[in-house]
C-alpha cells in the first residue's frame, strides 16, 4: 500500500458524518457570532440604525465586542477558512452516504434563519440594487440611463461602492422591476436591506427544495450532497444570502428549470430561465442549451414548432420586461458596461497583467492598454469557442441524454464562464450549485476547492479596515483558482475531443487514451 493510499484510508476512517456535521455547526456558529459582533470585519459600511440583532446580544454576552479589532479580524479570517474546510468535510461525508438528507435540510433551514437575523455581510451591492430601484420608484427615471451620481442627495449615496456610483444598472429588467417594488414598499434604508436579504433567503431555500425533490428521483445517492452544496455552503450563506445578492434569484431560476425539465414541463422551464436571464444575463447560457436540447429531442416534423414556441416565449417575456427601458444611449441595458469591469480574483486578471506587462515593454502605457484589450478579446473568443463545443455535444447527444446530461452541460458552461470572465465574485458560484450534483469528479472537485479560495475573498477586498498584511489577494485567489480551473479545462477539452458525455463518471481520459482505449461512457 502506498503512502497516499494509506493516508486516504486514514482520512476515510476518521471522517464520519457526525464529525463533519459537528465541524459545520461549530464553524458556522463561530462565523455567525463574529458577523453579529459590533465592528465585525464581515460588515461593509452600514447605516448607523442597523443593529446587530439577537445574535449580536449573544456576541456581547460572550465579550466578543471587547476583543481588539485587529485580533477580531484575524479570528474572523481563521473562522471563515475553517467554515470552508468544514463544508468540504460535509460534502465528502455526504458523497459516502454518511450524512442524511434530512439532517442537511434541517441544518440548512436553521442556518438560513440565523443569516436572516444578521446584519448585511461582505458586500455593498445591495445599496446599488436599492439605488437603481429608487431611480425608478422615487424619481421616475430610467436606471439604465440615470446613475446614483445623478442623485447625490439620496441617503443611499454614501453607501454605494465608489466605482459603481456613476454606472447605470448592469442588472436585468426583471430585477430592476423587483428592486423598484421593494423600494416603493419599504422606505427606510434598513428595511430595504432586510427585504433584499429576505428575498435571497427565500430564493436559496426555494432552490434547495427543487434540488432535493429532483435529485431524490433521478440520483438518490447524491441527494444529501446536492442539498449540502446549497444549504450548508458558507459562500451561499455568508456571501450570497448574507449580502442579499441577486445571484440567489439566478440560482432559483436554474433549480426550477432543471426540475421542470425532469418533470417534462420544458416550456415552463424556458420561462424560468428567461426570467433568470432577465435578472442577470448569465442564465442566458443554460437557456440557449435548453432550447437546443428540446428542439433536438422533438420529432423531426415538430422541431420548428417546438423551437418557435420556446424562442417566441423567451423573446416575448424579454420584450414585455425590457421595452419600457429601451433607449439609444444604452441599448444593451447595461451588458456592455458590465464586461468593462474586472475583479482581481478572476483568472483572466492574471492573463491581462501578463499582456499588459508585455505591451508596456513594447510600447509604453499605450501598449499596456492594448495588451489588456487583446487579453480580454482572446478570453472572450476562447469562451465562445468552449460554449460552442458544449452546445455541439448537447445537440449530438440530446436524443439519448437524460436530465442529468443537460444539468451537467449547464454546469460545465457555468464553470467555463467563470474561468474566462473578467469579473468573478464568490456569489457568482451560486449559479451552478443547483446542477453541481450532475457533474463528474473533476468539475465537482473544481467547485469544491474553489470555495476555499472564495470563502475569504471579500474579506480582503471589501473591508477597508483590514491591516496591510492581510491584503493578499493574489496569494489567496489566483493560485488555487487558476490551478483547479486549468485542471477543469483540461478535463473538458479531453471530453469534448473524445466525445465523452458531459455527465459521465470516467477515469482520467488522457490515461485511457494513452492506453489505446476509448473512455467508458457511463
The predicted structure's pLDDT at residue 12: 63
Nearest by Cα to 207 from 240, 241, 248, 244 = 248
Residue 213 CA to residue 205 CA, distance in Å, equals 12
The predicted structure's pLDDT at residue 373: 79
Residue 25 CA to residue 13 CA, distance in Å, equals 21
Nearest by Cα to 147 from 170, 120, 174, 175 = 170
Report the chain's C-alpha Rg in angstroms. 23
| 467 class by beta-carbon count within 10 Å (0-12 exposed, 13-18 middle, 19+ buried) | exposed
Residue 494 CA to residue 148 CA, distance in Å, equals 47
Residue-wise pLDDT for 411-463, tens only, equals 999 988 887 777 778 899 999 999 999 999 888 888 888 887 778 776 655 55
Q: Is 372 helix (H, G, I), strand (E, B) or coil?
A: helix
What 328-332 contacts at long range (C-beta under 8 Å, 24+ apart), as own/partner pairs, is 329/145, 330/144, 330/145, 330/168
Residue 32 CA to residue 55 CA, distance in Å, equals 8
The predicted structure's pLDDT at residue 344: 59
- 293-to-93, 121, 283, 397, 400 alpha-carbon distances in Å: 34, 39, 15, 9, 11
What 260-264 contacts at long range (C-beta under 8 Å, 24+ apart), as own/partner pairs, is 261/290, 261/293, 261/403, 261/406, 262/214, 262/217, 262/218, 262/403
The predicted structure's pLDDT at residue 318: 94
Residue 378 CA to residue 420 CA, distance in Å, equals 9
The predicted structure's pLDDT at residue 120: 92
Per-residue confidence in pLDDT tens, the chain, 522 aa? 566 556 566 666 667 888 999 999 999 999 999 999 988 888 888 887 676 778 888 888 888 888 887 788 888 889 999 999 999 999 999 998 899 999 999 999 999 999 999 999 988 999 999 999 999 999 999 999 998 988 887 788 888 888 788 889 989 999 999 999 999 999 889 999 999 999 999 999 999 999 999 999 999 999 999 999 999 999 999 999 999 999 999 999 999 999 999 999 999 999 999 999 999 999 999 999 999 999 999 888 899 999 999 999 999 999 999 999 998 888 787 776 666 665 656 677 777 777 888 888 888 888 888 887 787 788 788 888 888 989 998 988 887 778 999 999 999 999 888 877 777 788 999 999 999 999 998 888 888 888 877 787 766 555 555 555 554 443 444 566 777 777 888 888 888 888 888 888 765 544 455 445 444 443
Strands (E), 226-332: none
Distinct helix (H) and strand (E) counts, the chain? 21, 0
Residue-wise pLDDT for 235-244, tens only, equals 999 999 999 9
The predicted structure's pLDDT at residue 48: 76
- CB–CB of 441/408 below 8 Å? no
Indicate the pTM of the whole model. Answer: 0.89
Give domain limits for the chain.
3-124+191-514
Q: What is 21-70 written as a DSSP string? A: HHHHHHHHHHHHHHHTSTT-TT--S--TT---HHHHHHHHHTTGGGS-HH
Residue 31 CA to residue 87 CA, distance in Å, equals 13
Residue 184 CA to residue 181 CA, distance in Å, equals 5
* Rounded to 5°, angle at Cα 475 from 469 and 480: 150
The predicted structure's pLDDT at residue 211: 97
- CB–CB of 502/389 below 8 Å? no
Residue 488 CA to residue 415 CA, distance in Å, equals 8
CB within 8 Å of 282: residues ≥ 6 apart: 250, 414, 417, 428, 431
CB within 8 Å of 289: residues ≥ 6 apart: 390, 391, 394, 406, 409, 410, 413
The predicted structure's pLDDT at residue 521: 40
The predicted structure's pLDDT at residue 4: 53
The predicted structure's pLDDT at residue 511: 44
Tally of CA atoms within 13 A in the half-sphere of 438 that contains its CB: 30
CB within 8 Å of 5: residues ≥ 6 apart: none
The predicted structure's pLDDT at residue 486: 79
Amino acid at each position: 500500500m502506498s503512502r497516499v493510499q494509506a493516508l486516504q484510508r486514514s482520512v476515510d476512517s476518521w471522517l464520519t458524518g457526525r464529525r463533519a456535521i459537528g465541524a459545520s455547526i461549530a464553524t458556522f456558529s463561530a462565523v455567525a457570532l463574529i458577523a453579529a459582533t459590533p465592528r465585525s470585519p464581515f460588515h461593509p459600511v452600514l447605516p448607523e440604525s442597523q443593529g446587530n440583532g439577537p445574535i449580536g446580544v449573544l456576541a456581547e454576552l460572550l465579550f466578543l465586542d471587547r476583543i481588539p479589532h485587529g485580533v477580531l479580524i484575524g479570528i474572523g479570517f481563521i473562522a471563515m477558512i475553517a467554515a470552508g474546510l468544514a463544508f468540504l468535510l460535509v460534502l465528502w461525508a455526504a458523497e459516502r452516504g454518511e450524512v442524511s438528507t434530512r439532517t442537511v435540510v434541517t441544518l440548512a433551514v436553521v442556518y438560513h434563519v440565523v443569516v436572516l437575523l444578521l446584519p448585511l455581510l461582505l458586500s455593498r451591492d445591495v445599496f446599488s440594487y436599492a439605488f437603481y430601484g429608487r431611480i425608478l420608484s422615487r424619481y421616475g427615471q430610467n436606471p439604465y440611463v440615470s446613475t446614483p451620481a445623478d442623485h447625490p442627495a439620496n441617503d443611499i449615496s454614501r453607501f454605494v461602492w465608489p466605482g459603481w456610483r456613476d454606472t447605470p444598472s448592469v442588472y436585468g429588467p426583471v430585477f430592476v422591476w423587483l428592486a423598484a417594488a421593494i423600494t416603493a414598499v419599504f422606505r427606510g434604508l434598513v428595511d430595504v436591506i432586510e427585504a433584499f436579504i429576505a428575498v435571497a433567503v427565500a430564493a436559496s431555500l426555494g432552490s434547495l427544495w427543487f434540488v432535493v425533490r429532483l435529485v431524490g428521483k433521478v440520483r438518490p445517492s447524491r441527494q444529501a450532497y446536492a442539498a449540502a452544496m446549497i444549504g450548508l455552503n458558507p459562500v451561499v450563506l455568508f456571501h450570497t444570502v448574507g449580502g442579499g445578492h441577486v445571484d440567489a434569484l439566478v440560482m432559483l431560476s436554474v433549480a426550477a428549470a432543471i426540475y421542470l425539465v425532469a418533470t417534462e414541463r420544458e416550456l415552463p422551464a424556458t420561462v424560468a430561465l428567461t426570467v433568470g436571464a432577465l435578472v442577470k444575463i448569465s442564465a442566458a447560457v443554460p437557456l440557449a442549451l435548453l432550447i437546443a436540447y428540446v428542439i433536438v429531442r422533438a420529432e423531426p416534423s415538430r422541431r420548428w414548432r417546438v423551437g418557435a414556441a420556446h424562442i417566441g416565449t423567451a423573446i416575448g417575456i424579454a420584450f414585455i420586461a425590457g421595452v419600457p427601458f429601451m433607449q439609444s444611449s444604452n441599448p444593451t441595458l447595461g451588458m456592455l458596461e458590465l464586461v468593462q469591469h474586472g475583479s482581481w480574483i478572476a483568472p483572466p486578471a492574471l492573463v491581462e497583467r501578463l499582456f499588459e506587462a508585455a505591451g508596456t515593454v513594447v510600447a509604453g502605457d499605450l501598449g499596456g492598454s492594448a495588451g489588456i484589450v487583446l487579453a480580454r478579446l482572446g478570453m472572450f473568443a476562447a469562451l465562445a469557442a468552449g460554449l460552442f463545443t458544449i452546445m455541439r455535444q448537447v445537440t449530438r447527444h440530446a436524443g439519448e441524454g437524460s436530465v442529468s446530461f443537460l444539468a451537467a452541460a449547464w454546469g460545465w458552461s457555468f464553470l467555463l464562464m467563470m474561468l474566462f470572465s473578467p469579473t468573478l465574485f464568490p456569489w457568482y458560484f451560486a449559479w451552478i450549485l443547483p446542477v453541481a450534483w450532475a457533474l463528474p469528479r473533476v468539475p465537482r472537485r473544481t467547485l469544491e476547492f474553489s470555495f476555499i479560495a472564495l470563502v475569504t475573498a471579500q474579506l480582503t477586498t471589501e473591508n477597508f479596515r483590514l491591516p496591510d498584511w492581510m491584503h493578499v489577494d493574489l496569494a489567496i485567489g489566483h493560485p488555487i483558482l487558476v490551478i483547479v480551473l486549468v485542471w477543469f479545462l483540461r478535463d473538458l477539452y479531453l471530453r469534448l475531443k473524445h466525445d465523452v458525455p458531459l455527465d459521465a463518471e470516467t477515469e482520467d481520459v488522457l490515461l485511457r487514451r494513452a492506453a489505446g482505449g476509448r473512455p467508458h461512457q457511463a
